[in-house]
Chains A and B, each alone.
Chain A
Amino acid sequence: MSGGADIYHEMIVDYSRNPINYGEIKDHDVTFHDSNPLCGDSIDIDMKIDDQKVSDIKFHGKGCAICMACSSVLTELTKGKSLDDVRKIEKNDVLSELGLEHLQAVRIKCALLSLKVLKSALYTYLGSHLENTDSIDKLKTEAENLY
């Protein structure tokens, strides 16, 4: 399984047809939007945060089956987790859930757009709740090294 048409297995097609956690959270604590300049895929993530935990998360936007399936899986992975744990989520955590570890380079950005949006949302939240500049710089470095 490495790309080609065989990546479109049951799970991917199902998730793209019936995405999980799709929608908006009106009273979110943080929201973030990003898009893929090459293909126009576009994702928004809203999060509700209580006691340093992601109590609710939803995404919406337009994207291909890969993008939608990965966004569903990512929001499932994130829901209920502590902010520290969300910070540790890596690309392979998402890709392995869907058997996409060897996705070809041209499609990897489709798969990881929602992770990029999630991390940006997280850093936005943390950035606005931090007290000292040290931590902000640390966050920035972490964000820059994401991909």
Chain B
Amino acid sequence: MQSTESSFENIRKDFPILTRTVRDNKPLVYLDNASTTQKPNQVIDAITDYYRNHNANIHRAVYALAEESTEAYETARDKIANFVNVKNRQELIFVRGTTEAINLVAYAWGRPHINEGDIIVTTEYEHHSNIVPWQLLTQEKRAKLEYIGMNDNGELNLDDLDKYLATGKVKLVTFSLMSNVLGTITDAEKIIAKCKAAGVPTLIDGAQAVPHMKVDLDTLGCDFFAFSGHKMLAPTGIGVLWVRKSVLQTMSPFHGGGDMIREVHKYETTWNDLPYKFEAGTPNIADVIGFGAAIDYLTKIGMDNVRQHEIELTKYAMEEFAKVPGLQIYGTKDITKRGGVISFNFADVHPHDVAQIIDEEGIALRSGHHCAQVLMERLDVAATSRASFYIYNTKKDVDALIDSLNTVAKVFKL
């Protein structure tokens, strides 16, 4: 498929929700993709087809339906593994989402490995899901949580990392591959190289990156990687944790229950093979299958085309934003270092007020702290407005947003 505006216009036809109107019969302009994306017919159909024709529990019964559902579930695992270039499917664990993935690591890896005085390093631009689990763990273990700071351009100060690594006490470095507020793309290669030299494992929150750019876990070289389906056309409630096998083998189970066991006796249990040791209970079968359909959809477009489309759109949006007096954009202006997420403030108008006024024009724009209060403190703002793009957004959407900001300016007499 060509990366042209017209081929991306065609994509819109696959998304039924984009044909509806909101408020006073205004066409929907959906710009909250960093939060969650809309779903194409192909994904919706895969889920309904599963429930209509194949529904049965997996990994248990021998009858035809069970065989079909197990096959569909495991095929989705292979599709996802292939999508991020994971060579060993045993390393890919289904979870509810990135939040659960990180909590799983904090619990099943962190509890046996982190001791008093150890340091876990995260960054100032993390989502709460990559801060709070580490606060819980370090408080329990009397360990320390430290932050890689950020410069005014929204990029990490890697000198901070060097400083912490030099203590010899760092046991894990964890960071987002793309900030959900600033869109900054983290220099993962550099961080991982530094950590490897120091013998320190790395965890990457890929929730914002995997939906928008090609990610190759085989060459990246981290030890843990997490991402969510719903930010990349798949249903909510399904995500992935990948863990390097040599690390996974040192981890104790997360949840105990069905499917994760080999043999259960009155007082002892042996564990199932990987990855099932970490998938207790009946999983979210239908949504895993939906996730597989989303992967098919994105593969057909090609992730390089997705990235190119968002670069063009973000570049256009930043140029148009620059023409609006009083509009301040946060983060780097270098388009090659950021994804399709633009956080801004408009004069002295609070982001909630911006969002509410432009909602009347049918525009879905996020306002608030975006689950990144540590970053809000660093930026010294209470909140920001955030526009975030995906494959079905067009320059027309950007134009609609700019027009609606004029209404905000009128109401607030800017």
**Chain A residues in contact with chain B, CB under 8 A?**
3-5, 7-8, 13, 16-17, 38-42, 62-67, 107, 110
Residue pair A64, B407 in contact (C-beta under 8 Å): no
Q: Which B residues are CB-close (under 8 A) to A67?
A: 350
Contact B382 A40 (CB under 8 A): yes
- The residue on A at minimum CB distance from B368 is A39
Query: Closest 3 A-B residue pairs measured CB to CB?
Result: A64-B350, A64-B352, A62-B382
- Check B369 against A13 for contact (C-beta < 8 Å): no
**Contact of A40 with B350 in the complex, beta carbons under 8 Å:** no
Q: Select from chain A the residue with minimum beta-carbon distance to B24.
A: A4
Partner of B412, one of A3, A13, A38, A66: A13
B interface residues, Cβ below 8 angstroms from A:
23, 348-353, 356-357, 359-360, 367-369, 373, 376, 382-383, 407, 411-413
* B348 cross-chain contacts in A, Cβ below 8 A: 17
The answer on a CB contact under 8 Å between B353 and A4 is: no
Min distance, Cβ B132 to any Cβ of chain A, angstroms: 13
Interface SS, B side: mixed
Q: How far is the CB of A19 from chain B (nearest CB, A)?
A: 12
Q: Cβ of A107 and Cβ of B356 under 8 Å apart?
A: yes
Contact between chains at B373 and A40 (CB < 8 Å) = yes
Q: Are B373 and A5 in contact (CB under 8 A)?
A: no
Closest A residue to B412 by CB, please name it.
A13
CB distance from A8 to the nearest CB of B (A): 5
**Do residues B411 and A13 form an inter-chain contact, with CB atoms below 8 A?**
yes
Measured CA separation A72–B356 after assembly (Å): 21
Tell me the nearest residue of chain B to A110, going by C-beta: B352
Query: Do residues A65 and B368 form an inter-chain contact, with CB atoms below 8 A?
Result: no
Residues of B within 8 A of A8 (CB): 353, 356-357, 411-412
Which residues of the other chain, A, contact B357 by a CB distance below 8 angstroms? 5, 8
The residues of A that contact B23 with a CB separation of less than 8 Å are: 4
- CB neighbours (8 Å) of B349 from chain A are 65
- Bound-complex Cα distance A63 to B368 (A): 10
Residue among A3, A40, A67 having the largest count of chain B Cβ atoms under 10 Å: A40
Q: How far does the alpha carbon of A16 sit from the alpha carbon of B413 in the complex, in Å?
A: 12
Q: Which residues of B contact A41 (CB under 8 A)?
A: 352, 382
A39 engages B369 (CB within 8 Å)? yes
Among A62, A64, A66, A110, the one with the most B-chain Cβ atoms within 10 Å of its Cβ is A64
How far apart are the CA atoms of A67 and B368 in the complex, in Å?
14
**B352's contact among A4, A5, A42, A107, by CB below 8 Å, is which?**
A107
CB-CB under 8 A from B407, the residues of chain A are 5
Knowing that A39-B369, A62-B382, A63-B382 touch, tell me 8 more A-B residue pairs with CB under 8 angstroms.
A8-B411, A39-B367, A40-B382, A40-B383, A42-B382, A65-B350, A66-B352, A67-B350
Neighbouring B residues of A3 by C-beta, 8 Å: 356
8 A-B residue pairs with CB within 8 Å: A4-B360, A5-B411, A8-B353, A8-B356, A16-B350, A40-B368, A65-B350, A65-B412
